[in-house]
Structure 1
C-alpha cells in the first residue's frame, strides 16, 4: 500500500464589485510558470501559521496592492481535482468577495499585471479559475435573492431605481419593476423612507433598513 499523497493547500479569491454599471472581477496576470502571461484570480499557497482567510487577504495585497477592506467575504468551496495544478496536488480553498468602491489594483511582485474585468469579458483563465469564477458569480447572484446585500452599493439616501440598477448589474438583467417594488417595500426592515424627495420628478428617497434577510426571496428573472 502506498503512503499518503503529498498535498499543498492554496487559496484563491474572487473579488467582485460593480464598475460602470456592470459586475466586474479583479484578475492578475501571472508573472511566472505555470501559465505565465495568463490571467487568473489572485491567490497562492498558505504560509506557516496562517488560516485560509488570512492567506487570501495576504495574497490579495501582495499581488494587487489592495488592502483588506470592509465588505462581504465568505468561503466559496474547496477545489481538489487531482489534475487542477500542473505543479502537483494542490487543494484550493476559494473565497468570494462582494464589496463596493474598491480601488484600482497595482500589480505586485508576484504578478505581471492586475486589473478589473467585466465578468462578461473575462479572458481564458489559468488553472480551474473559470470554474471558480462561475461559482462565485452564481453565489453573489443568489445572495441578492435572499439577503439585502445590494444595499451596500447605494449611497444614502437613494431611490428605488438606483437600488434596482444594482440588481441589474449583478444579475445581468433588471428585476421585474412591479415585483421589485413590492418585495423591497413589503419586506420588513429592507428599506426605510426618509422625509426628503429627490429632484428627478419627486421620487421617494430611502435609507437602509435593519433587516438582512429577504423571505420569501426576490427571485431572479428567468434566463
Structure 2
C-alpha cells in the first residue's frame, strides 16, 4: 500500500487494565482487551482499542466511544497517558495517536464479559503480550510496555490502586491489587501498617459479611488525602 505522508491523521487509542486471576496460579494479574484488525495495514493482527478522532469529538469522548463500541466497557476511570507520533509508526500514512489508559473494576469487567457479539475482541495477559515484540499492530507493543511501566511506578506513590476497587473495600482486597500490579507478594502486617499511616484510606464503620472468619473492616478512599504521596518501594516489599 502506498505511503501518504502529506497529511497527519489524529487517532485515539486506549490501554485497558483489569485484574483477573491467573489461570495457572489463581493470583491476580493484569489483563487487557485487544481488537483483531479486519483491514490493512496489519489485517488479522491484534491492536489496542481505538480509531481516528471524530470530527466533532473531544479526545476523551473519542476514547470512551471506541471502548464502548469495541469492548462494551464504560469505565469510571480514564486518564490521558501519552502521545505517540513517530513518523513511521504506520506504514500507510502519518498517524499521531493520543493514548489513554483506564483501570477497570471487577463489576465493569464482568459487564464487558457479558456483552454479546464481540468476536473480534479477546482478553490477554498484559505482560505476556508486552514481552513479545511484533505481536501487536503498529507500535502498540511499545505503548503497552510504556503503560505497564507507568502503572507500576505510579502505584508506588499515588492511590491509583483504588481505581481497581469498588467504593468500599477491605485492606486485603487493596493489598491484592498492589500484589497483582507489582507481581510480588507483600507482607500483610507491614502493608496494613503502611497504608493506614499514609491516611489514603479511612474506615467506613462497616464490615464485609459472609466470610468464614471474623468479618474484615471496610475502608474507602480518603478524599482529603487523594493526592497523598505513598512510600511503597517499586522493587521490594513494603518496609516495616
Scaled by the length of structure 2, the TM-score of the pair is: 0.78
Of the three residues 68, 74, 82, the one matched with 2:74 is 68
Deviation at 1:137, TM superposition (A): 1.5
The question of 1:86 aligning with 2:82 is answered no
Distance 1:23 1:186, change over 3 A: same
Deviation at 1:5, TM superposition (A): 4.4
The question of 1:39 aligning with 2:46 is answered yes
Deviation at 1:89, TM superposition (A): 0.8
Distance 1:181 1:221, change over 3 A: farther
Distance 1:107 1:43, change over 3 A: farther
CA contact (8 A) 1:146 1:213 kept: no
Distance 1:107 1:16, change over 3 A: farther
CA contact (8 A) 2:207 2:215 kept: no
Cα separation, 1, equivalents of 2:169 and 2:74: 27
Report the more deviating stretch, 118-127 or 16-25.
118-127
Match of 2:24 in 1: none
Distance 1:89 1:161, change over 3 A: same
CA contact (8 A) 2:201 2:219 kept: no
Deviation at 1:159, TM superposition (A): 3.5
Match of 1:116 in 2: 123
Distance 1:63 1:209, change over 3 A: closer
CA contact (8 A) 2:158 2:230 kept: no
Cα separation, 1, equivalents of 2:167 and 2:87: 48
For residues 15-40 of structure 1, what are the alpha-carbon distances to aligned partners after superposition, in whole Å with 9 as ceiling and x for unaligned?
A: 11111221111111111111111111
CA contact (8 A) 1:168 1:174 kept: yes
Runs (4 or more) in structure 1 with deviation over 6 Å come to none
Match of 1:98 in 2: 103
Distance 1:177 1:220, change over 3 A: farther
Report the more deviating stretch, 22-31 or 199-208.
199-208
Deviation at 1:157, TM superposition (A): 5.7
Cα separation, 1, equivalents of 2:116 and 2:98: 24
Match of 1:215 in 2: 229
Deviation at 1:150, TM superposition (A): 2.1
The question of 1:131 aligning with 2:142 is answered yes
The question of 1:205 aligning with 2:211 is answered no
Query: Structure 2 unaligned runs (5+)?
Result: 22-27
Query: Structure 1 unaligned runs (5+)?
Result: none
CA-based RMSD of the aligned residues comes to 2.6
Scaled by the length of structure 1, the TM-score of the pair is: 0.83
- Where 1:33 maps in the other structure, the secondary structure is coil
Match of 2:13 in 1: 12
